[in-house]
Amino acid sequence: MIGDLQGGSFPDTAKMRLKNLGFNSGWTEKTKTNPDDHRPRHDFFETKGPFSDLGVSGQLELTFYNDRLMEAQFTPNESEHYFRLLSERLGKLPEAPGKPKRISAEVSLSYYRDADGSVRFLWDYLPVSKEWKDWARKYSFVFQSNSNRNS
First and final CA of the chain: distance in angstroms? 44
DSSP letter assigned to residue 9: -
List the one residue out of 60, 82, 83, 54 whose CA is nearest residue 14: 60
Tens of pLDDT along the chain (151 residues) come to 998 899 999 999 999 999 999 998 999 999 998 878 888 888 999 999 999 999 999 999 999 999 999 999 999 999 999 999 999 999 888 888 999 999 999 999 999 999 988 899 999 999 999 999 999 888 876 544 444 444 4
Query: Which range of residues forms the domain containing residue 142?
Result: 2-150
Number of domains in the chain: 1
**Dist CA 54 CA 2 (whole Å):** 10
123 sits in which H/E element:
strand 119-125
**Dist CA 107 CA 57 (whole Å):** 22
Complete DSSP assignment for 29-97: EEEE--TT-SSSP--EEEEEEEEEETTEEEEEEEEEETTEEEEEEEEESSHHHHHHHHHHHH-PPPSST
The residues facing 133 across adjacent strands are: none
Give the tens place of pLDDT for each residue, 125-145. Answer: 999 999 999 998 888 765 444
**Dist CA 74 CA 91 (whole Å):** 18
Give the tens place of pLDDT for each residue, 55-75. Answer: 999 999 999 999 999 999 999
CA 97 to chain centre: 16
